[in-house]
Amino acid sequence: MTAYPFIEACWRRPVPRRPVWIMRQAGRYMPQYQEIRGRTDFLTLCKTPELAAQVTLLPIEILGVDAAILFSDILIPLEPMGISVAFEDKIGPVLSPVRDEKSIRALRGIEPGEDVPFVPEAIRLIRRELEGKTPLIGFSGSPFTLATYAVEGGTSKSFHNIKGLLYSRPDLADMLLEKLCGVVVSYLNSQIRAGAQAIQIFDTWGGILSGEEYARFSLNPLRKVLKGLDRDSVPVIYYLNDGAHLVPLLDSLEVEVLGIDWRQDIGQVRQALGRKKAIQGNLDPAVLFASPDEIARRARLIMDAAGPEPGHIFNLGHGILPTTPVRNAIALVEAVHSYRE
């Protein structure tokens, strides 16, 4: 575990300073981001390495977080597979859904160097700018979470299209997930080759499944991805949203860090997992609408519950909300850094 440079700090005894970064560090809550977005639509921003690099670096300077996360989106690798992807204000992502055998069979594999060259290029630029002072996290959606967007055509409340596919045509769901596994492996390996120093895999929608379906349609593909990664010295953070009922299934999962949302008690998760994995999380993003004192108090409760042993990366339980005051995000980072056991 301690062989990984980024995770190492949180395993040192005594913990010198808990590492903290925030999900969606660069986003609509930052005026500097809004200024750039006023001139550039979101997808163009993702596809222009110089701009993606500039936006990635904002939170390092403004918030003082301990890791940079690549500015991009989990839906980027779906486009070269043959799915159209658009981001619409107030609606979110809109995709051309793939729901039948013909359209699933037609999905292509990707060659990241040719299909999404702007991603490795942005990583190389960011690494140069960071000069080794702050580690850079690359990322991907999990095969299952990407499948939900591909099949639903966007975000959903009921997820009846993806669930309908799992229950009525599990063979087709397997075929789709198999293709997504190949895409995620080559996408993440290209990020690692370009210089990503840790990888986060977002399973935002894994928690909509019961244990049996989760094991088959989310965990199995994830295990395949992990086997395919060239990652001797690159730790993997697996973020599972709304997955309290699934934690018992994660015991043997070969990742270095488990990221959890705010619904779970971090102390209990720690106990359930023992000392085999570090834990990342898990402040409710909405706490950032409270006063700096209340933010600090709730951050301390999480650090108390995570315990004095090393192996905790402080984070929000999900992405930072668009109207969050930046000064409150700064207050959170300061509260984590000034915490003493």
Nearer to ligand CP3, 23 or 104 (CB): 23
Query: 3-state class of 201 per DSSP?
Result: strand
Q: Shortest Cβ contact with ligand CP3: which residue? A: 204
Beta strands in the chain (DSSP E): 68-69, 85-88, 92-95, 136-141, 198-203, 236-240, 257-260, 278-283, 312-316
Q: Which residue has the tokens 């909509």?
A: 208
- Cβ 315 to ligand CP3, closest distance in Å? 10
Distance set, CA 153 to CA 86, 149, 268 (Å) = 10, 5, 36
Task: Examine the residue annotation and report whether 37 is marked as an active-site residue of this protein.
Answer: yes
| Helices 160-168 & 170-194 angle (0-180, nearest 10) | 120
Catalytic residue among 4, 29, 33, 149: 149
- Cα–Cα distance measured from residue 1 to residue 257, given in angstroms and rounded to the nearest whole number: 10
Question: 7-46 mask for ligand CP3 (x: CB under 6 A)?
Answer: ----------------xxxxxx--------x----x----
Question: 63-92 mask for ligand CP3 (x: CB under 6 A)?
Answer: ------x-xxxxx-----------x----x
Task: Examine the residue annotation and report whether 263 is marked as an active-site residue of this protein.
Answer: no
- Cα–Cα distance measured from residue 269 to residue 266, given in angstroms and rounded to the nearest whole number: 5
Task: Examine the residue annotation and report whether 149 is marked as an active-site residue of this protein.
Answer: yes
Question: Between residue 164 and residue 203, which ones bind ligand CP3 under the rule CB under 6 A?
Answer: 202
Which ranges in 40-134 belong to alpha helices (H)? 42-47, 49-62, 101-105, 112-115, 118-130
Binding flag, residue 217, ligand CP3 (CB under 6 A): no
Question: 127-156 mask for ligand CP3 (x: CB under 6 A)?
Answer: ------------x---------------x-
Active site members: 24, 28, 37, 73, 149
Q: Which residues bind ligand CP3 (CB under 6 A)?
A: 23-28, 37, 42, 69, 71-75, 87, 92-93, 139, 155, 202, 204, 319
